[in-house]
């Protein structure tokens, strides 16, 4: 069993409109945009990152806003819901704030004894807030949300699968253990994670497979401390029979990718070097940052990328 995984690192989704996406996460949710850069493989498309003050692993939601992308079709083989942790007693505040902002599909729910508020993002993506006690991660306090109700970071992701057995086995190999069952739901968690250390599996045997589009999760990333730990994980996965990519430099972390038995794309990302490697912490996300290989496109991109704000 691996002991290098520290919980979630980031979750990456597809979006249809960069400006609307930015307004939702920095406005309605009050998160900080810690980076505006571009997709390595499609540099005319943003890659936007929203998180806490410094982009702490376990708090980072990222988006590829492809203009006019078709809407994703929900189904199995994907992450269906990304869940944030908020302080106990704060859901009333969030219900009012999100309702005033016109957020769709607001609903109260209880899962494994925890109170949740589920809702849809700007492209229909499944999101939720869950009340937790004792989360010491500091929320971003300059986004219009008071500190005592602010978002601490991720709580969990929930995956929809036709058969959860092989994925549960994989997560067990990654250091997760089952901590709860309820109907078709299985909950797995790390004992000493980074706070974003829970994965729920929803087993849906007869459901159709998801179709990637706006509002879909592209991949979910798990955190390791450094490149040395990442290489240990990569070797262990290869030895177990998984097809794993070489290490890829993503400027703010190093990444490896592999497809899970249930169809979900997993990434293992390093906590280093972080989002302040090319920007002062006071100005994270203010300027367009480009990968070195795309710097020659700056003048074109600055003219053609959709402005994120007035």
Residue range 195-208: mean pLDDT, rounded: 97
Q: What number of residues does the chain have?
A: 310
- Provide the pLDDT for residue 243: 98
Beta-strand relationship, 265-273 and 217-224: parallel
Backbone φ and ψ of 302, nearest 5°: -65, -25
- Provide the pLDDT for residue 43: 97
- Sequential DSSP letters for 212-232: --BT-EEEEEEEESSHHHHHH
- Tokens (6 digits) for 304: 């053609």
Task: Decide if pLDDT at 310 tops 90.
Answer: no
- Tokens (6 digits) for 28: 């309605």
In this prediction, residue 271 has a pLDDT band, given cuts at 50, 70 and 90, of very high
Task: Decide if pLDDT at 59 tops 90.
Answer: yes
In this prediction, residue 278 has a pLDDT band, given cuts at 50, 70 and 90, of very high
Query: Percentage of residues in the chain with pLDDT exceeding 90?
Result: 99
Whether 86 and 153 have beta carbons less than 8 Å apart is answered as: no
Task: Decide if pLDDT at 245 tops 90.
Answer: yes
SS3 of 73, please?
A: strand
pLDDT tens for 204-234 read 999 999 999 999 999 999 999 999 999 999 9
Residue ranges with strand state E in the chain: 8-15, 32-38, 46-51, 60-65, 78-87, 107-111, 114-120, 126-132, 153-161, 177-182, 185-189, 198-203, 217-224, 248-249, 253-259, 265-273
Task: Decide if pLDDT at 191 tops 90.
Answer: yes
pLDDT tens for 125-183 read 999 999 999 999 999 999 999 999 999 999 999 999 999 999 999 999 999 999 999 99
d(CA 95, CA 100): 8
- Provide the pLDDT for residue 68: 86
d(CA 84, CA 238): 32
pLDDT tens for 36-55 read 999 999 999 999 999 999 99
């Amino acid at each position: 069993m691996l002991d290098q995984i520290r919980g979630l690192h980031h979750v990456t989704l597809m979006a249809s409109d960069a400006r609307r996406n930015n307004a939702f996460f920095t406005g309605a949710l009050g998160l900080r945009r810690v980076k505006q850069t571009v997709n390595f493989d499609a540099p005319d498309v943003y890659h936007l990152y929203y998180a806490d003050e410094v982009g702490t692993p376990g708090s980072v939601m990222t988006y590829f806003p492809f203009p006019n992308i078709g809407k994703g079709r929900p189904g199995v083989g994907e992450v269906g819901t990304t869940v944030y942790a908020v302080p106990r007693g704060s859901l009333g505040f969030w219900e009012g704030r999100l309702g005033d902002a016109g957020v769709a599909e607001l609903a109260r729910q209880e899962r494994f004894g925890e109170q949740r508020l589920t809702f849809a993002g700007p492209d229909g993506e499944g999101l939720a807030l869950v009340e937790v006690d004792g989360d010491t991660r500091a929320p971003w306090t300059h986004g219009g949300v008071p500190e005592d109700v602010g978002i601490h970071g991720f709580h969990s992701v929930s995956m929809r699968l036709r058969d959860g057995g092989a994925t549960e086995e994989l997560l067990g190999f990654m250091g997760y253990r089952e901590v709860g069952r309820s109907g078709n739901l299985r909950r797995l968690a790390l004992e000493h994670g980074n706070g974003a250390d829970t994965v729920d599996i929803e087993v849906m045997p007869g459901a159709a497979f998801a179709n990637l589009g706006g509002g879909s999760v592209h991949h979910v990333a798990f955190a390791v401390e450094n490149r040395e730990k990442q290489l240990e994980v990569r070797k262990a996965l290869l030895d177990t029979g998984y097809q794993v990519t070489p290490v890829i430099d993503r400027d703010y972390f190093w990444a490896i990718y592999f497809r899970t038995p249930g169809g979900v794309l997993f990434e293992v990302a390093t906590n280093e070097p972080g989002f302040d490697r090319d920007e002062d912490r006071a100005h994270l996300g203010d300027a367009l940052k480009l990968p070195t290989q795309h710097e020659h496109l700056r003048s074109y991109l600055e003219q053609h990328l959709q402005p994120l704000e007035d």
